Every structure is written in structure tokens, then in C-alpha cells.
Chain A
């Protein structure tokens, strides 16, 4: 079982934070198939958040096919996130390292590199969202 937490100052909507934490737990193998997610009552009792926030997060996870609700029992993990296999990650990491070295050679400091990554990432994701 995992425990949720919320960052009030992140600016990320609470239901998205919950979704993110489940996905992260799946990637880190803290959750695997058949595991139960905390009940809605558990989550609201712990975080003092609105029940609809939790329901919304769980619905979204269900829609993504990651969890399934079993009436009267709770919400259970139905599959793991398979995008983390070492075979796919290693080459991506190497590429990123090469890019980082290149960025440093041009004189960018860490903060600027981070900002560049973040803005690029954001505009790329927003682009995808607009298409979808």
C-alpha cells in the first residue's frame, strides 16, 4: 500500500499529484499488479482533501488501464508501467548525457540548462495535448 502526500505550493492540481504518485510508484516497483490503492476514505482522512479529487484521480487511472475498481472491495492495480526497462532507458540516458556535455561546452550553467529542458519539455507536451 502506498501513502499519498500533497505539495500545496507546486501549482499542480491535487488530482494530478495523486495520479503522478501512483505512476511513479508503479515505475519504482512500489506498486505491482494486484496491489490495492488506499480507499477514498483513507486518502481524504489523511490529506483532508475533497473526496471528488481522489475519485477523479482514480477514474483517470482506470481510464488509462492502470487500475480497476472492484465494487465493495476497493481499487486495484491491473498492470505495471512497462516503459522503464533498462534496455530502452540506457541508450536514452547516453544520448541525454551527450547533449548535456554539449550544452555545458556552449557555456550554459546548470540553471539555464534546467530551464531550457523544462520549457522545451512543456512546449512539447502542450503541443501533444493540443493535437489530442
Chain B
């Protein structure tokens, strides 16, 4: 399978701080990829590197087989909707479509006008007068009408109310079916991405903690509860992601390719949100929780 995005040892430094370090990724085509992590984790930096708005300090990145923004052809194949789905508030909806048509060689006017009609947007309306949800849909329309092979969206639903959020993701998923495009979208909320994405990248503290197909991630992570014991004594191949203890009980989130056979553990499935939280607590744990005892 071809990769839509491939990064090796990718890093970006702002002055003395690394916003992204040692990022190695290979995202297969035809998937909807969720990039999730807390605010300030480096999500926007990674996305800006992917569209060529930033240059790497270290390592390499290729998008659709070429360096980001390497040529007009490469630019035409990647759609980008920046954080908070920006539009020009003084321009009307129709102005936005005209602008899109002028700036993009592969512009599909039909797709654009059909979408605007289906959304019930008035072409004469200024973007500044639109609701947040409508503005987001307008930004999405512009990105889709340039017919990209890969669409990158930075926190597209963060500022939307739940209904607008749902509607935005609905039209995004419909576009995936219609246009067969690959999508990378970021969010600091797993719940936003849970249904829409089939591939997940967890980015915390400027580092990729884990990435892979959602089904695979859910199948290889388990929640174990049992009598208290030292997580360091687990069999090989079982990696502890997070651990918490009471004086009697131990609860672990464990990553393991094989099944857990130890009868002392009650093994349960883990949801995507808990999985991401387990990775988050791990990085917090490394800094702030030196000893196991402190966690009680």
C-alpha cells in the first residue's frame, strides 16, 4: 500500500524548544487518520510541516510521495483547513468560491456549488455573518472543491457546538465516500474522532506515542485488574502503559500482541478514549510521579 504521509526522524525546534521530535510515521492511503493529543503537544506543528508551512529542523517528511509544497502540482493535491476553519469575513460565500476557482487549477465548481446549495447557504451572505458551523462547512467546501488526494484539517470541530460538530463530520465522511480521499484531522478530544477515524496517531509532549489502525490498537491493548503486584514482573511482550494501585488492587493498561493468559488478572477491553488517556498519564507519570508509592 502506498503511503500518503511518510516521516523519518522528523523534528521541528522553535528557538530552544522542540515542538516535535523524532517523529517517524507511515500513513497508508485511503484512511481517515485522527491525530490526537493535548493542547501544545505538537499537532499543529506536525500538520504545518505536512503542508509545507513549516520546514523541518531535523529529519524528512514526504506527502503523496513528494516534499510538501515542493511544486504547484504537489500543492494542488493536498487540501488544508487551518485551525478554527478560517474564512474571509468581509467576502461573501460566492466570493469565496470565485477565489477558490482562481487559485486552484483543478477546481471543481460543480462540487462547490452543489455543496453550498445542499448546506442551504446563501451565496450572497458574508462569511462574517455565518454561524461557526456554516463557516466550517464553507472552509471544508473550498478544500474539497480543489479535489485533493489528501485533506488535512487542524482541529476543525473544536469550536463547534455538538450538532454542528456532527454535521461537519457527516459531510466530511460523505466526501470520503464520494471522492475517495485520505484525511488527516487533529483534535484534542478523542470522542470527536472515535467514529470517524480508522487510524490513530497519539502525539504527546512533542513525541508520537503510538500510531496504527484503530481496530489493531483496540485489539492489542487490555485493561487488567487484579490483586496488587509489581507491574515490572509481567511476562515479556506485555508492555505496561499505565498503572495505578490501591493497597490491595492493581489496575494496568497493557499493550500486548498476544492474549493475556494469567488467571490472576481480570482482563477487559479498553475504549479508545481510555487508551489515549493511559498514554497521557504515562508521560505525566514520567515527570511528576517518581515512585509508585506516591500514587496511592
B271 close to A53 (CB less than 8 A): no
Complex interface: chain A residues within 8 A of B58 (CB)? none
A44 close to B177 (CB less than 8 A): yes
Complex interface: chain B residues within 8 A of A120 (CB)? none
**Selected contact of B196 from candidates A8, A40, A49, CB within 8 Å:** A49
| Interface flag for A125 (CB, 8 Å) | no
A11 close to B271 (CB less than 8 A): yes
| Interface flag for B215 (CB, 8 Å) | yes
| Interface flag for A97 (CB, 8 Å) | no
B106 to chain A, nearest CB (A): 22
**Selected contact of A51 from candidates B169, B176, B215, B271, CB within 8 Å:** B176
Contact status of A45 and B174, CB under 8 A, knowing A11-B271, A13-B215? yes
A14 close to B178 (CB less than 8 A): no
A15 to chain B, nearest CB (A): 9
Complex CA distance for A40 and B173, rounded to whole angstroms: 10
B contact patch SS: helix
- Chain A, range 37-57, C-beta contacts under 8 Å to B: 40-41, 44-53
Contact status of A50 and B269, CB under 8 A, knowing A40-B177, A44-B170? no
A50 close to B32 (CB less than 8 A): yes
Complex interface: chain A residues within 8 A of B109 (CB)? none
User: Can you give 10 contacting A-B residue pairs, CB < 8 Å?
Assistant: A6-B195, A41-B177, A44-B177, A45-B174, A49-B195, A49-B196, A50-B32, A52-B31, A52-B198, A53-B195
- Chain B, range 161-191, C-beta contacts under 8 Å to A: 166, 169-174, 176-178, 191
Which residue of the partner chain B has the closest CB to A48?
Answer: B169
Contact status of A53 and B269, CB under 8 A, knowing A45-B173, A48-B170? no
The 8 A CB mask of A43-77 against B (1 = contact, 0 = none) is 01111111111000000000000000000000000
Complex interface: chain B residues within 8 A of A40 (CB)? 177
Complex interface: chain A residues within 8 A of B191 (CB)? 8
Complex CA distance for A45 and B196, rounded to whole angstroms: 11
Contact status of A46 and B32, CB under 8 A, knowing A11-B269, A13-B215? no
